[in-house]
Amino acid sequence: MQLQGLNKSFDGQQVLKDITLELPEKKTTVIVGPSGSGKSTLLRSLNLLERPESGHYELSSLAIDFSHEISTKQLLNVRKKTGMVFQDYNLFPHKTVIQNVTEGPIQVLKKNKKEVHKEGLALLDKVGLAAKADAYPEQLSGGQSQRVAIARSLAMHPEYILLDEPTSALDPELEAEVLHVLAELAQERQSLVIVTHNLFFARQIADKIIFIEDGQVIFDGDPQDFFDENQKSSRISRFISAMT
Ligand code: ADP
Ligand code: MG
């Protein structure tokens, strides 16, 4: 997917400034940057949860010009191709784990219930939660909840999975379970865009790093260059030393 010249303001304050980026298919792109720099707004724009005032967005065969109105059809197409995973999981509290995973494919994609159920169980197995299929979200740890949220996203077969600080609410050991699942998806070449504060993980998993500060792209490139000890940008080296 590609963004060109994206601008977004809230109440007259510009929070995304002329963002031009490529988020490659079948790769893992990690977005980092200080709090309030615009990372969530950028990620949410990819799913059309936010509407930039201007800019172009290309997602496989879809092309969107943000300065024009977005049709319902475009909105549904973008939502179909992008799955969002939130920091606080957003599971349906009154549905079981397997129902959380199968709800979308049954209700939205109108898929065959039996097949969806079977695939849902396979996805739960993939994230290490086959035994929790009939549990309710309140019976899960944070790490388990987030893995259900990832399985739920996978069940929709989006082209890209977008994750906004998926482990920020978790203790380190629970975080590790989730990072393990993400590393596996990355290895399977699922296209991922991950916002995270975990630079250690970013370094391990990223094919590409994007550093955003004050609504602007400061760095867009190779993790190796970003973490280079001779990092020439003082803004980046200051950020890295503050975070590690
Ligand atoms: P990050 O995810 O990097 O912490 P955000 O994208 O959440 O940054 O926010 C970027 C800026 O936009 C911040 O100044 C934030 O206060 C502002 N902002 C985000 N969402 C809204 C909103 N819905 N209404 C008004 N301001 C917002
Ligand atoms: Mg955020």
Which ipTM value was assigned to this complex? Answer: 0.98
* CA-nearest residue, atom 12 of ligand 1: 15
CA dihedral (70, 73, 77, 82) in degrees, to 10, reads: 50
Closest atom, ligand 1, to C-alpha of 195: 2
Ligand in closest contact with the CA of 32: 1
Closest atom, ligand 1, to C-alpha of 16: 10
Question: For position 244, what pLDDT does the model report?
Answer: 81
Ligand 2 centroid to residue 162 C-alpha, Å: 12
* CA-nearest residue, atom 13 of ligand 1: 36
Query: Rounded distance, CA 64 to CA 45, Å?
Result: 11
Band of the pLDDT at 84, cuts 50, 70, 90? very high
Tell me the C-alpha to C-alpha distance, in Å, between residue 15 and each of 19, 35, 36, 45. 10, 12, 9, 12
pLDDT at 232 > cutoff 80: no
Closest atom, ligand 1, to C-alpha of 41: 6
Are 210 and 19 a contacting pair, CB within 8 Å?
Answer: no
Question: With a 6 A CB cut-off, is 51 part of the ligand 1 pocket?
Answer: no
Task: Look up the pTM and report it.
Answer: 0.96
Question: For position 243, what pLDDT does the model report?
Answer: 87
pLDDT at 185 > cutoff 80: yes
pLDDT at 39 > cutoff 80: yes
Question: With a 6 A CB cut-off, is 29 part of the ligand 1 pocket?
Answer: no
